Structure 1
């Protein structure tokens, strides 16, 4: 018990900070890039906008390829890209690269689904009134899809918590790395239990916040 407390006192704070940094950097980039890709997928599949089967098929194929690769394998596959961007393949900075790539692919499909849920009648009414694309985008697409997009962000955040924990297997740092190094390799069961509890609390907090925000904007 003394060893567990000592380990937690020395390592837990840095592990939580590393995980938080990985998750939020990946999330911010995936919201921007994944959101744009999701919008492109939606627009190029919709006859009312810029239907283009070639762009839609190519984009969809690339995203599906990334999503089909298990995250642990993606960590290894993207090692050259990771080293090129951050100069190393170990640590939280390195783990952020595959985390970001995985979350972009994931959120792009979520965003596409959110935009696809919009009632075509609302869009047709906006077009009939003479609204331009940018006005339709800001006042119709974003507003109507916002509750679903918030739920999508929540799902992506929860997935990123799990991915960031898996990054510990290859020395990615964070809570998962702490659990692997001490809870698994050194048989410190107390460390393993505490890290699992922390992960559960983080996931529950993200889910509760996302659900409340989604309901708030849905009422509007």
Structure 2
């Protein structure tokens, strides 16, 4: 059985919708947690062992849970947040909780790559801790952060495909419902090709922006 062009386009829209909204909220959470993990660690500008000892294991816990298990485990929370546990909007809740901690580690790695001499120079100029974060650390790590967000976006595309396993919508749902369950090889092939194109496009854009930023 072949699926219609309209169904494929609608599934593509659902996938892009899930990825964009989840990436937006996940980035807010991830960047905040990533900065917190860096500045509160030992020897940094906001050293605080108590906060670090809380945030670090929380991030590790969420990162250690496979997404397909997280989808099912937080169904009551998802229902509480959006009123349902099925559908494209419902899938955004676990997607955010999945990608936020992942982005936080990528942000942490990017910020830790910044030369400590820059931080020392900022302190010598009398910069406050917040100024050091947003005027020195973040700008210096910006190119690396672009690649981190690119990696996270690609991870989200794959996660949305898994969300289709529980009726989350998108290309993954089409591949499972109309491809696997109805033995339509062409449907699976088409959805895979579209996902590959989306991933290649995201990676190419990320690489392009990263190169332009490094040249500035």
Range into which the TM-score falls when normalised by the shorter chain: over 0.9
Aligned 8 A contact 1:63 1:105 in 2? yes
Distance in 1 (alpha carbons) for counterparts of 2:172 and 2:180: 10
Correspondence 1:113 to 2:109? yes
SS for the counterpart of 1:47 is coil
Correspondence 1:59 to 2:60? no
Q: Kindly report the root-mean-square deviation, in angstroms, between the aligned alpha carbons of the 2 structures.
A: 1.0
Distance in 2 (alpha carbons) for counterparts of 1:8 and 1:38: 43
TM-score (norm 1): 0.95
TM-score (norm 2): 0.97
Correspondence 1:23 to 2:22? no
Select 2:187's aligned residue among 183, 188, 191.
Answer: 191
Aligned 8 A contact 1:8 1:191 in 2? no
SS for the counterpart of 2:4 is helix
Alignment coverage as a number of residue pairs: 216
Unaligned regions of 5+ residues in structure 2, if any?
A: none
Select 1:181's aligned residue among 174, 177, 181.
Answer: 177
SS for the counterpart of 1:182 is helix
SS for the counterpart of 1:89 is coil
Structure 1 residue runs of 4 or more that deviate by more than 3 Å after TM superposition: none
Aligned 8 A contact 1:106 1:156 in 2? yes
Select 1:77's aligned residue among 73, 76, 90.
Answer: 73
Select 2:150's aligned residue among 150, 154, 171.
Answer: 154
